[in-house]
């Protein structure tokens, strides 16, 4: 049972209780495989779709729904089970543009009902908190709504539309994406399948097969690995504040956020050599309190953790994001430290750019959109990389910066919280640049 989430179970009420049968296109006609059709019969069929999507995380699922809205057939291949995908605990701060896309594909109702709208954030340093009023500066808000919930909503929308996702697909491999016969091979139930397609969308994350299939000579990678990680816990406790608190402290960074008004998510900067076993709950709560201002520390309600993990921080970009007839989307192409809350939102903007480009290709018989996809997506990606790096640099304790680095951070924070221009710049980037 996933506490607080709609769980994927094996009972009749589960959205995945009934088997999802392969949708097969034979000679351009869409049909559903018969329930009594043997695996051998299926293997002999010609499987074809317009867009083969590798990965059923938020990027792949949102792309699939957008393409469906545009009348573009697509099939998603995912190597993990639905339960595993929903078990990934990730951050959940949505820009207005991301929420608009969820609404567009019919997957936004629960976010509006259960999500928390935030109009600002608080920066804490030198024992005090300073509020950044994002709505006043930009007219925009952000929504607190877990990535697990976004994934579930997109899964259910896809199932309701009768679209195919092949879960637990083994040995997924894209082929000939730089040639005339793009296709993806995969294994399912002991049978090897070939999925012919016009295009391949690699939405399978940082460690996925899509980017790994690109020749090294065709790819340029940019990476910065930060010398610390985030230790995070999830607890059934009310948030310490109604808005997020980002704290710069001599002992290291801390973040107080939430999933709901009854469930909190807290982080402290930690060493990359640390292990969760070294951090019993009492030690974590004591350390968090030591890094907060006195009012927040006194207001903090502690409780048993229901999830605890350490995540490394890195900035990573792969260029370009198109290789012939294969496109990278989301974490397959870029990673940002979570300080700026940009990862999920960049995946959403990639899905928007790519779906629009493919709609233009099919509806208007134009290559202009797909030719421009990489440059358009990367322009927004690099701005998010810059902002996430800046937030991380301003708020964390760096081992080699020394006392002068700490004083420069405090000067930067003082400037940001006193200058309307600086607050507006932070707010514009935090709520999300337009796409």
- Who's near 151: CB < 8 A, 6+ residues apart? 57, 58, 61, 85, 86, 88
Residue 430 designated active-site = yes
Catalytic residue among 338, 352, 373, 396: 338
Handedness of CA 207, 208, 213, 214 (dihedral sign): negative
Q: List own/partner pairs for 41-46 with CB under 8 A and 24 or more apart.
A: 42/191, 42/193, 43/191, 43/192, 43/193, 46/196
Catalytic residue among 145, 186, 226, 246: 246
Q: Which residue has the tokens 């016009």?
A: 198
Both tokens of 196, joined, read 């012919």
Residue 239 designated active-site = no
Catalytic residue among 68, 118, 249, 397: 118
Residue 338 designated active-site = yes
Are the CB atoms for 56 and 167 separated by under 8 Å? yes
Catalytic residue among 188, 266, 342, 396: 342
d(CA 53, CA 79): 12
In the beta sheet, which residues pair with residue 174?
184
d(CA 130, CA 295): 13
The total of other beta-carbon atoms located within 10 Å of residue 1's CB is 6
Active site members = 118, 246, 338, 342, 430
């Amino acid at each position: 049972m996933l506490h607080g989430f709609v769980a994927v179970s094996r009972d009749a009420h589960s959205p995945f209780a009934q088997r999802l049968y392969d949708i097969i296109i034979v000679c351009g006609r869409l049909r559903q495989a018969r329930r009594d059709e043997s695996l051998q019969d299926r293997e002999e069929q010609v499987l074809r779709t317009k867009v083969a999507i590798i990965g059923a995380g938020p990027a792949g699922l949102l792309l699939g729904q957008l393409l469906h809205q545009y009348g573009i057939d697509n099939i998603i291949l995912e190597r993990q089970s639905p339960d595993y995908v929903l078990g990934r605990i990730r951050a959940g701060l949505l820009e207005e543009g991301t929420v608009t896309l969820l609404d567009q594909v019919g997957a936004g109702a629960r976010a509006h009902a259960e999500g928390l709208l935030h109009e600002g954030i608080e920066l804490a340093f030198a024992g005090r908190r300073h509020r950044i009023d994002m709505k006043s500066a930009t007219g925009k808000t952000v929504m607190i709504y877990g990535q697990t919930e976004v994934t579930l909503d997109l899964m259910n929308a896809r199932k309701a539309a009768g679209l195919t996702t092949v879960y637990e697909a083994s040995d997924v491999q894209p082929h000939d994406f730089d040639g005339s016969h793009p296709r993806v091979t995969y294994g399912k139930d002991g049978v090897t399948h070939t999925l012919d397609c016009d295009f391949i969308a690699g939405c399978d994350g940082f460690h996925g097969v899509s980017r790994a299939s690109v020749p090294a000579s065709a790819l340029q990678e940019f990476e910065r690995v930060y010398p610390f990680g985030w230790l995070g816990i999830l607890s059934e406790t009310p948030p310490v504040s109604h808005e997020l608190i980002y704290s710069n402290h001599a002992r290291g960074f801390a973040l107080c956020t939430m999933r709901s008004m009854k469930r909190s998510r807290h982080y402290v900067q930690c060493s990359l050599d640390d292990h969760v076993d070294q951090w019993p709950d009492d030690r974590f709560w004591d350390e968090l309190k030591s890094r907060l201002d006195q009012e927040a520390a006194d207001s903090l309600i502690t409780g048993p953790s229901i999830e605890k993990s350490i995540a490394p921080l890195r900035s990573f970009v792969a260029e370009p994001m198109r290789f012939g007839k294969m496109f990278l989307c989301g974490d397959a192409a870029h990673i940002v430290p979570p300080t700026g809350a940009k990862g999920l939102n960049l995946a959403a903007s990639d899905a928007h750019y790519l779906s629009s480009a493919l709609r233009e290709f099919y509806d208007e018989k134009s290559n202009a959109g797909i030719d421009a996809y990489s440059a358009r997506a990367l322009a927004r990606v690099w701005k998010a990389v810059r902002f996430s790096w800046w937030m991380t640099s301003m708020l964390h304790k760096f081992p080699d910066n020394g006392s002068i680095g700490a004083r420069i951070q405090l000067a930067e924070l003082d400037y940001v919280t006193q200058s309307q221009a600086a607050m507006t710049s932070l707010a514009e980037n935090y709520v999300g640049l337009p796409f």
